[in-house]
Homo-oligomer: A and B are copies of this chain.
Amino acid sequence: MSETTKMTISALQARVEAIFCKAGLNAVQAGALARVIVAGERDACKSHGVYRIEGALRTVKAGKVKADAIPELVEQAGSAIVRVNANGGFANPAFELGVPVLAERARSCGLAALVVNDCTHFSALWPEVEALTDQGLAGLVMCPSYATVAPTGGNKPLLGTNPFAFGWPRPGKSPYVFDFATSVAARGEIELHRRAGKQLPEGWAIDADGNPTTEPEAALAGAMLPFGGHKGSAIGTMIELLAGIMIGDLTSPEVLDYLGTTTLAPFHGELILAFSPEAFAAGRPGDPFGRAEVLFEAIVGQGARLPSQRRYVARAKSESDGIELTAAEMAQLERLEALGLDAVA
């Protein structure tokens, strides 16, 4: 029976940050990257936690991300677009640099967009959505991925799992946040089925000939399917257009061409829209935040759940009791601490 180890959020932050520094990341890269990984562990999103460090190091070692990049704000006067060039580094420090400017711009213009270009994308989108709701703004975030999803009616990978995330601020409460892949399942879930020797549910994937399959191996050699049929396929396509092509960054097929693998973190851009509910509601009856609570109460009141609630429960526990890591997770952390980049292929 394996033991678990508890540590405070700040202790884990320091350890993960140290791993990244040792691997050659500069302070802004290491700090921002550690923050999203620790947020994943804190919220019991294990697939975005300590588990992810190795993938980041692998991408560094492969030379596909600049470990010492300094993100740069590209000013566009009079525009509602705030642009940050990640300069080949991870998206996270670029996002952190852009958020205060985005928030100010959204407040003055009513809405504004943050474009992050030339970044390696690494984390879930909900930490970014929450950075906006923390500022009292509603946020919509999207980005491409690698080509692993066939458009509805097609038979080959083209679209990415293209995440789509949204947040609405709830004063005094955890925000309303959703963050999901526009594929039926995440690629990692198919990999988990493969390892467990389990069949996939129907409707997740097609094989290399374009036929429906429930075999994980066949699915990995074929393509995943969009969620919700042609509607999800259309949203995935919209994300390629807005958060790839429109912002002058790579689409999912271009990312896969560039990397040649899905085992490294993808290199592309990201589009973040921020809305000021105060500005949009100005001069209109009712308080938007109070009215939103009525809607949320009606959802919960009929037994439906608001998204992200499991994360918030885990977060409260982590904040009071510390983050719990399994013996295997501790071993991996210690291995990465000891070996640094030598720990990855």
Q: A residues engaging B (CB < 8 A)?
A: 74, 76, 78-81, 108-113, 115, 117, 138, 140, 150-156, 158, 166, 168, 176, 178, 180, 182, 227-234, 237-238, 240-242, 245-249, 251, 253, 273, 275, 277, 279-286, 288, 291-292, 295, 298-299, 302-305, 307
Contact = CB atoms under 8 A, between A and B. Distances in A.
Given A234-B180, A247-B281, A284-B249, A138 B292 contact: no
A261 to B, nearest CB: 20
Contacts of A233: 304
- Give this chain's copy count: 2
Given A80-B80, A178-B231, A251-B291, 6 more contacts: A154-B302, A155-B303, A168-B238, A178-B234, A237-B295, A247-B281
A138 B231 contact: no
B240 A295 contact: yes
A245 B288 contact: yes
Contacts of A138: 241-242, 246
A234 B275 CA distance: 18
Contacts of A152: 304
A242 B240 CA distance: 22
A158 to B, nearest CB: 5
Contacts of A76: 110, 282
A76 B110 CA distance: 10
Nearest to A228: B228
Nearest to A252: B295
Given A138-B242, A279-B79, A304-B152, A111 B113 contact: yes
A127 to B, nearest CB: 18
Contacts of A80: 80, 109-112
A277 B241 CA distance: 10
A74 B113 CA distance: 23
A248 B304 CA distance: 25
A305 B155 CA distance: 12
A164 B275 CA distance: 18
A111 B83 CA distance: 13
Contacts of A232: 228, 231
Given A166-B238, A231-B232, A283 B248 contact: yes
A178 B234 CA distance: 7
A304 B228 contact: no
A155 B299 contact: no
A63 to B, nearest CB: 21
A81 B295 contact: no
Nearest to A240: B295
A304 B292 CA distance: 39
B168 A241 contact: yes
Given A180-B234, A280-B81, A295-B251, A305 B153 contact: yes
Contact of A227 (B140, B228, B280, B292): B228
A151 B237 contact: no
Contacts of A298: 158, 253
A280 B153 CA distance: 30
A246 to B, nearest CB: 5
A315 to B, nearest CB: 20
